[in-house]
Amino acid sequence: MADAAHAKNHSYHLVDPSPWPFVASISAFALALGGIAYMHGHSLLWTVPGFLGVLYTMFVWWRDVIHEGQKGDHTPIVSLGLRYGMILFIASEVMFFVAWFWAFFSSSLFVGDHIQATRFDFTGGHWPPKGIEVFDPWHFPLLNTLILLTSGTTVTWAHHSLLHKDRRGLLWGLALTIILGLLFSCVQAYEYSSAAFSFGGNIYGATFFMATGFHGFHVIVGTIFLIVCFIRAYKGQFDPKHHFGFEAAAWYWHFVDVVWLFLFFCIYVWGGWGAPIEGAAH
């Protein structure tokens, strides 16, 4: 009788009571307070408690979700909800990058309108602004484009191997994708260190570093996502029918690839057209 009373008569998963939403809200609030304090001249250490709390909450909350999947709680209808959630998350990320592209194109295409509206000339009347030496798009940016495009093929190889129960191909594909993601971040960090313009003082630098910098942050997040998938794959936690964690990571990585293509052609190639190139002979 007791078993019959507790038997599930639906395909949905009712999650167990969890402290993590409350802990996440407290950690995010502490991180916001620390960020505000830092902006008002206090030490960056004020952000550490909130930042560590957010990282810890992410780890334990996602750990619980993984355990739910391993227990069989992720029924087909629950998995469908997870897929919808990931799709909506990526859609929100698309709009996030639309804002940075909007800022860049608004500043570059309507230079005269900005001068007239604000009574300040931040661009010297043309784009890129006078005195700005841009990156050569056919140097490190092109290299990073090739790196990301290659990483898209390796993560697809890993997914194909998983579907065909090729564990060796899955691990090699994930390992190569992670290495390429780390290489991309290293190349971009070196590129930033040699930039002939800064974030502050000019609208070109502000829009450039916001767009490419946030993409770089997404590459780091995606690389961590893939590292977690590699560990789970090594432990044998994926099979051809139950591997949404890996599938979500692959979707996210392909999203990062596509955004970079737009960044490369719109900001590096078109956005710096006609400007002096850093390090080139004048």
- Domains of the chain and any CATH numbers: 15-73 (1.10.287.70), 90-121+131-276 (1.20.120.80)
Residue range 81-94, pLDDT digits in tens? 999 999 999 999 99
In percent, how much of the chain has pLDDT > 90?
65
In this structure, which amino acid lies at residue 271? G
Q: What is the pLDDT of residues 41-60, one digit of tens each?
A: 999 999 999 999 999 999 99
Range scoring the smallest mean pLDDT among 56-70, 111-125, 150-164, 183-197: 111-125
Report the range of poorest mean pLDDT among 129-138, 168-177, 237-246. Answer: 129-138
Query: How much is the pTM?
Result: 0.86
Provide the CA 134 distance to its chain's centre, in angstroms: 24
Tokens 């300040």 map to which residue? 120
* SS3 assignment for 171-202: HHHHHHHHHHHHHHHHHHHHHHHCCCCCCCCC
Among the residue ranges 120-129, 135-144, 175-184, 262-271, the one predicted with the least confidence is 120-129
Question: Can you name the residues that pair with 277 across neighbouring β-strands?
Answer: 134
At 107, list the tokens.
């500043």
What distance in Å separates the CA atoms of residue 47 and residue 22, rounded to the nearest whole number? 19
Q: What is the mean predicted confidence (pLDDT) over 168-196?
A: 95
pLDDT above 50: residue 120: no
**Confidence (pLDDT) at 119:** 44
